[in-house]
Amino acid sequence: MSGDERPGGRAVERVTDRPQWRDAARTAAGAAVAAGAVAAAAAGTPNGWPLALLAAAGAAAWPLSRWRNLARRQVVAEFDREGVRLYPETARRGRGLGPAVDLPWAEVRGIYFWRKRTGLVWTTMLGVEPVRSDPRGAPEDREGVPAHVSSALARRSVPFSASGRARVEAAARRFTMRARVVDARRAPRARRTVY
């Protein structure tokens, strides 16, 4: 988290992303493919070396490009007196230049952490729920979105590391006390009625 001044003297809190376990797994997979290509070339003919080196370079470059983007400490969320902005994730863990979500504090009901199912794994999402519901109906494509997450929240969410809740909460509390920060990564338990 870093505090900066914008032109005009406005204080801004920026929250950056951190590496996740998937980044380490992808790096290990790329290194394993690179090592396998070199080992296969060593056991094969001398003509296989150029192809093996090319495969090893490609397998190593793929995860390294992700780490390069993480090392740049790209901004996921910005908080200031006017409101909150969330930046979308682009290819290779890069972040978009324009915000995906830009809401003033008067329109923010809460800031939520929730999990979205992407393939076999769950991705932690950071989202902003607006006070007013959308005039649009619920989208047909709610693939991976749990039932306890509203469509308005799902549309205003970006991927974020699960360990960043304290940083987001501290940045939000600096500018507003009204918007709550909620951890909705697990569905609320259904209460049993005892008769």
- What six digits make up the tokens of 11? 């204080």
pTM: 0.72
Beta bridge partners of 182: 112
Report the side by side order of strands in the sheet with 2-5: 2-5, 11-16, 75-80, 83-86, 101-104
C-alpha 119/C-alpha 144 separation (Å) is 8
pLDDT at position 103, please? 92
Mean pLDDT of the chain: 78
Q: What is d(CA 69, CA 25) in angstroms, rounded to the nearest whole number?
A: 16
- Residue 79: band (very low, low, confident or very high) from pLDDT cuts 50, 70, 90: very high
pLDDT band at 30 (very low <50, low <70, confident <90, very high): confident
Rounded Cα distance between 80 and 9, Å, is: 11
Higher local confidence (pLDDT), 42 or 103: 103
Token pair of 117, please? 């199912």
Q: Report the percent of the chain where pLDDT is more than 70.
A: 82
Largest CA distance in the chain: 79
pLDDT at 104 over 90: yes
pLDDT band (50, 70, 90) for residue 128: very high
pLDDT of 137 over the 60 cut:
no
Q: Phi, psi (5° rounding) for residue 134?
A: -70, 145
